[in-house]
């Protein structure tokens, strides 16, 4: 059962958007913790590498947490880039069974259960093609909140 009075678990992708647009979307939604679920928190996109992203959200009084263990393994990222989304989902589901992924999934669940207005961040613009949808579905089922996908204004 989903509690509609509790804050949802938000997600956002930064494909085809600026860091400023992502920060604006997070602020509008009242997010207080950005949870980076990329295996590698580096990006060629301005403002999305770990240090710059953490500084950007801090300037909006939003916390930053990198849960690398909830990132998609290299072979899953390659499958996603090739449009093989079912394969990416299979690879990521297998990865979720690892002890590190389970520990970080539990950590995220605890934060959401404690009332943090958290938002999962990854590159893919469309959540249905991204592993963050899988993470969000698990956490939302555990905690009884809904997921809300944020969309930043495109470039």
- Taking the C-alpha atoms of residue 58 and residue 122, their distance in angstroms, rounded to an integer, is 18
Written as tens digits, the pLDDT of the chain (155 aa) is: 444 457 899 999 999 999 999 999 999 999 999 999 999 999 999 999 999 999 999 999 999 999 999 999 999 999 999 999 999 999 999 999 999 999 999 999 999 999 999 999 999 999 999 999 999 999 999 999 999 999 999 88
Quote the pTM value: 0.94
Sorted by where each starts, the structural domains of the chain and their CATH numbers stand as 9-149 (3.90.190.10)
| Cα dihedral across residues 24, 14, 57, 149: positive or negative | positive
Whole-angstrom distance, CA of residue 131 vs CA of residue 76: 9
Residues 6+ apart with CB under 8 A from 116: 32, 33
pLDDT at 4 (0 to 100): 46
- Say if residue 51 is exposed, middle or buried (CB neighbours under 10 Å; 0-12, 13-18, 19+): exposed
Give 122: exposed, middle or buried? Use CB within 10 Å, 0-12, 13-18, 19+: buried
């Amino acid at each position: 059962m989903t509690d509609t009075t509790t804050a949802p678990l938000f997600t956002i992708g930064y494909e085809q958007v600026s860091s400023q647009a992502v920060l604006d979307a997070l602020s509008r939604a009242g997010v207080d913790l950005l949870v980076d679920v990329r295996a590698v928190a580096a990006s060629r996109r301005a403002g999305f590498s770990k240090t710059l992203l953490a500084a950007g959200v801090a300037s909006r009084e939003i916390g930053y947490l990198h849960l690398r263990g909830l990132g998609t393994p290299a072979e899953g990222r390659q499958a996603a880039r090739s449009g093989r989304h079912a394969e990416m989902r299979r690879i990521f589901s297998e990865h979720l069974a690892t002890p590190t992924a389970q520990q970080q999934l539990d950590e995220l669940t605890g934060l959401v259960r404690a009332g943090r207005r958290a938002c999962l961040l990854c590159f893919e613009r469309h959540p249905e093609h991204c592993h963050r949808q899988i993470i969000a579905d698990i956490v939302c089922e555990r905690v009884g909140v809904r997921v809300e996908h944020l969309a930043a204004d495109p470039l």
